[in-house]
Structure 1
Amino acid sequence: MPRVLSQDLRERVVAAVDGGMSCRAAAARFGVSAASAIRWRQLVLQNGTPAAKPQGGDRRAGRIDAHGALILAAVEAKDDITLVELQALLAERGTPVGIGTLWRFFDRHRITLKKTRLAKLAGVAR
């Protein structure tokens, strides 16, 4: 993945362009590509700053987090609800999601199934 060039460099290139240099001349002076200088100038014209956009992160978590209240309410209503049952509940509401998506939702919100001492006693002895 390409690395982000410093904000200082971006501002110096844009300042040189604003000072009368062409984008290509400013790019050659500061040792960056002409495309970068042109793109940074366009960012200033559109947004007022040549700052880089955030990189990485989960861009799809918002889709399931929008239904977080429904998922948490279903877990409160039925303690031993399975991921498959939650998947079916969301599919009924028009949001088909995978089991892994639900798993990551619970992991992100630090919700875990805690096994109790009674659960161990109810299991088959080894």
Structure 2
Amino acid sequence: MSAPLPSALRTRFLKYIKEGLSGRAAAARLKVSPATGARWARQIRTRGHAEPSIQGRPPGSGKLAAYRGFIEELVAQDPDITLFELRDALAEAEGVDVHHSSIAKLLTRLGFTYKKSRWSPPSGDAHGSGNSVPSG
């Protein structure tokens, strides 16, 4: 999906509508399509503005959202677990069939990183392990 047209353009469109122009006439002045002008004019009438709506799925929803804790627990138990093993464990325990790349995306969103052959949990310490030896 393409990016929405700029808010400055929408603001100028709103100004033209308030001056009494039709949606098509305002669209012609701003060199946008008549369909866009009609759609923006309808949005102004119903919502009071023509700002773009939020695009995409809301965060936290999706097929794996309900199984997040289960997947985190499996990775905590065995950091060397593969995506295919995670997929199979999820299918066996919960009856959910997903592609392994969906599990990888979830783990990435949760802050896990993949280094060589191991899923590493997100670190709260910027220096790595958090184990420091006092100098003295």
Change in CA separation of 1:17 and 1:65 when aligned onto 2, cut-off 3 Å: same
Which deviates more from structure 2 when the two are superposed, residues 35-44 or residues 45-54? 45-54
Contact 1:13 1:26 in 2 (8 A): yes
SS at match of 2:113: coil
Contact 1:14 1:37 in 2 (8 A): no
Question: Unaligned stretches of 5+ in structure 1?
Answer: 116-126
- Structure with greater contact order relative to length (CA < 8 Å, sep ≥ 6): 1
Question: Unaligned stretches of 5+ in structure 2?
Answer: 121-136
Aligned pairs for 1:45-84 (under 5 A) are 45-54=45-54, 62-84=62-84
Change in CA separation of 1:56 and 1:90 when aligned onto 2, cut-off 3 Å: same
SS at match of 1:95: coil
Structure ranking higher in helix proportion: 1
Give the drift of 1:36: 1.1
Structure ranking higher in strand proportion: 2
Describe the superposition over 1:27-78 as per-residue Cα deviations: whole angstroms up to 9, x where unpaired.
Answer: 1222222111111122234443311245679989743244221100112233
Counterpart amino acid of residue 42 in structure 2:
Q
Change in CA separation of 1:74 and 1:48 when aligned onto 2, cut-off 3 Å: farther
SS at match of 2:112: coil
Counterpart CA distance in 2 for 1:35 and 1:114 is: 49
Change in CA separation of 1:65 and 1:79 when aligned onto 2, cut-off 3 Å: same
Counterpart amino acid of residue 23 in structure 1:
G
Q: State the match for 1:123 in structure 2.
A: none
Counterpart amino acid of residue 106 in structure 2:
F
State, as a whole percentage, how many aligned pairs show the same letter. 32
**What TM-score does the superposition give when structure 1 sets the normalisation length?**
0.67
Superposed structure 1 runs of 4+ greater than 3 Å apart: 1-4, 45-48, 53-62
Counterpart CA distance in 1 for 2:119 and 2:29 is: 61
Q: State the match for 2:108 in structure 1.
A: 107
Give the drift of 1:10: 1.0
Counterpart CA distance in 2 for 1:105 and 1:38 is: 40
